[in-house]
Structure 1
Amino acid sequence: MTMDRVEKNIKKRKYSEDFLQYGFTSIITAGIEKPQCVICCEVLSAESMKPIKLKHHFDSKHPSFAGKDTNYFRSKADGLKKAKLDTGGKYHKQNVAAIEVSYLVALRISRAMKPHTIAEDLLLPAAKDIGRVMIGDEFVTKLSAISLSTNTVRRRIDGMSADILDQVIQEIKSAPLPIFSIQLDESTDVANCPQLLVYMRYINDGNFKDEFLFCKPLETTTTARNIFDTVGLFLKEHKISWKKVCGVCTDGALAMLGC
């Protein structure tokens, strides 16, 4: 089937009010109408605009709402529309809170060194069970707005890591004495791939501060030249001069010593 025929078939699938019984309203993105769940706000593909696929989503992800009537889902759909129009009121604040919670959960997962799948597979379902029993279904609805998929958790962690690195770089550049020392270590991970770890010590607010700088794979060799080039490329990307490096600490391995 050609792409033109696929797009043509997608455009033919229109939203029906009957889909409300499965908790779905519609949203238009890039000129294409797509189904959106009023419970978890997830937007499915245009090809999912079919009763069987919408019912599968409802039965597998929201079984606790099976007893709700169409009016309940209609009110949820109305609330969702208001949320799209409201940028400073209650709905906006709820959305901001849901995003903040998503980051906090991702931070805990990262610190505990747990797999990213644990949020969607265990933490969120457990939180919903607790909320349903202790508070009620309305609380479960609020929890459903929290995005904790594996990809979302990964993006949250990547975003926080990038933000921390930006803060460290800015602290170095804005320091009254903009010099720093680095500690390097080359190791091998569980996949037998060499990794270069670099830590940095610099002065911040009159005190010495130690921060993890980066971990990068050594894709070619583990020679001194390769290690030097990897560090040099990082400094160049962040516009930091080698002249600011006042000390280098290693474990004394031959590659680190340039042998």
Structure 2
Amino acid sequence: MSKTKRRAYDDSYLNYGFTCMIKSGIEVPQCVLCMKVLTNDSMKPHQLKPHLRNKHAEHMDKSKAFFEAKERELKRAKLDSTGSFYIQAQAITEASYTLSYRITRDKKPHTIGETLVKPCLLKCTKIILGDTAAQKIADVFLSDSTVKSRIDDMSADIKRQRDIEEEFLFCSPLTETTTDADVMNLVSDFFSKEHLDWGKLIGVCTDGAPAMLGCHAGFAQLVKEKNPLVVEGFHQCLAYLVDILGSINEVNTKMQGRDRNVLNVTYRINAFKDKLKLWVERLATGNVRVSFPVLHSLVDKKAPSASLLTDIKHHLNSLIAEFERYFLKLDPRTEQLMSLTRDPFRRNAHEIPEQLQKFLELTNNSALKDDFKGLSIEHFWVQAST
């Protein structure tokens, strides 16, 4: 496969108002008057001259010395961080990052930046602000590769901000016994010697040995006595998330698969909403035994911290509000229709609305009544409709 031919810059191109700049390792022409950057393929006199004629007609007859002066001004502007060129380039780059972020956040294909977003921006800017402002928008790079590059840069920056450095703090032998108290005394002596604050400790990770664990004894419990938030603030919150996400996942799983219909999905959603409300009521007494078993096993006989109970209550109320918003309450007519669909043979004639009188024929069909007992709701209604 042949390589793409790259054109080289020639000093004579300055007669047309173009200097040279390096972009992604490739020489490209840049206008010294408007700072417009063209592609490497445009590095030809018959493509550079039209730009001067169409965009800067008033400078068509200027000498090369004029363009050399403009070239020097452009180079100085690039080096001046307070100059208009630097500020404009910085604004263009920031706009590219902002639009790339929005494209990715809204889960749109990266190609939409160049095929839809940028053309719309150019059209609107030209109509409202004119050609000069539109030219600035044209300099914003939004190709699919650019969008990907911007997202990679932002992702790497976030990772750098959240880096966790793991460093070895100290190592000291236990010369005699290795009980939880021995370990605690050793660590406490080190904390005191180095003036470390127990209040800044946020978590404890151990090897699972008996001397390290336990709700009433063990090194972890002794650390908790130094700073109750180590366990109560972090581990209890984590335990609650395990419980609530497990419950949501269970409901979600039960609404999927074969033989699922609007009837059984509706009653599962309503049942879960009722559970959430019940759990909020139980929090008033600190009761989490049934509602949140993982959290209960962690706190044992003690109630969770008051701040955690407040956070849990707030979260549950937010879940209830979200479920109520997403799954609207059914109107009476729909509820009646669903009740008839669930079991059409348990309704008296006077309970059936006038517009649903055709159900009367079905409720008096003994053959269908026998079929109803042995078929799923889906198969029954398929058979009843034939």
Q: Tell me the TM-score normalised to structure 2 length.
A: 0.35
Higher strand share: 1
- Structure with more relative contact order (C-alpha pairs < 8 Å, separation 6 or more): 1
Question: Larger Cα Rg: Structure 1 or Structure 2?
Answer: 2
Higher helix share: 2
